[in-house]
Chain A
Amino acid sequence: MLDERDRDIIARLCGDLGEERRPFLAIAEACGVSEEELFARIERYRAQSILRRFGAMIRHQRAGFAANALSVWVIPEAAIAEAGEKIAAIPEVSHCYQRPPLPDWPYTLYAMIHGQSEVECHAVAARIAAMVQVTDYQLLFTRREFKKTSRQYFESPSDMPIA
């Protein structure tokens, strides 16, 4: 369980560590704990899989991924688990989720594909199609990025999930 101090620490860790040479010291001080206590709590968040990763968030486009496509696949319910695992193993795929179909939208498996070009993304999709033996799919290329941020958690009293 998370106490009030945990929520305060997590709220700060969602932000940017800053440019200091010893960046955790300021966070520890602001939260009223020692650095050691802060590190112990962060390790606990990791162990409990609350914290997925602590690291640098980089800009994909500037780091060389020129084409990004949300690929959507029509896969029967019985085959989804196997297909999902296979697609998840592909390095060019960053996210892979099962989602419900819509009346005019039969797709149930969603996988984000990243490549240096649209051609490269199509090639990855063709590989997936052959692997999972599905021909009904679409690549929804990213045309414009309107927003891409990290969520700030526990920032205000009105933004607290009911425990």
Chain B
Amino acid sequence: MTLLSPLERAVLNRIQYDFPVASDPYAVLADALGASAEAVHAAVLLLRERGIIRRIGGSFDARRLGYVTVLAATRVTPEMIEAVAERINAFPDVTHNYERAGAYNLWFTVISASAARIAQILEAVRQCPGVEVVHALPAERIFKLRVDFQVREDGDA
């Protein structure tokens, strides 16, 4: 658990939702948070260094950019799961890949320029030793898609 200072907490709470798109973004944040631009900039640099901030950038809607997405439910022999995960991760189209408890034990998301490319990737995964089955589960309806969370105000964050 990592202890955050009040300023770090305030900065994270603000910039995870909205980093100012402005010439001097740290001055805009400073105005909003009641600190100096230098202090806010230094806090962000430190949060990066500690690995709490992975990156600052845009989160785009894959579908609106013309890309096709799918969640793949996979069943893999437990001894082979690491090797299979490594093979899956090698595709730049794969953004998330998790081992989960349950009948399907490996779940990954694919974002590709075409449905044909997704089919190709899933087929390549099916050919990996240890892979029993790969199912494509496209989203039929999206009720919620939120990327990040409020850092809690209480206790260790």
Contacts and interface: CB of A to CB of B under 8 A. Distances in A.
B1 A64 contact: yes
B99 A146 contact: yes
Given A14-B60, A58-B52, A70 B107 contact: yes
A93 B144 contact: yes
A-side interface size class:
35 or more
B58 A49 contact: no
B148 interface: yes
Interface centre among B25, B66, B99, B100 (most CB of A within 10 A): B100
Given A98-B143, A104-B103, A146-B98, A162 B60 contact: no
Interface string B142-157: 1111111101100011
Given A21-B24, A94-B144, A152-B92, A52 B59 contact: yes
Contact of A100 (B114, B137, B144, B148): B137
Contacts of B73: 102, 105
Contacts of A87: 143-144
Interface residues of B, number: 81
Contact of A151 (B2, B62, B135): B62
Contacts of B48: 19
Interface in B30-68: 37, 41, 44-45, 47-48, 50-62, 64-68
B143 A85 contact: yes
Given A15-B57, A159-B113, A147 B18 contact: no
Contacts of A98: 139-143
A93 B99 CA distance: 19
A34 to B, nearest CB: 11
A134 to B, nearest CB: 15
A84 B141 contact: yes
A69 to B, nearest CB: 8
B144 A95 contact: yes
A30 to B, nearest CB: 14
B57 A35 contact: no
A35 B23 contact: yes
24 contacts: A17-B57, A19-B45, A19-B48, A21-B37, A23-B25, A24-B23, A50-B65, A53-B147, A56-B16, A57-B56, A58-B12, A58-B52, A60-B149, A64-B156, A93-B144, A96-B142, A98-B139, A98-B140, A102-B135, A111-B144, A138-B102, A147-B88, A150-B59, A153-B65
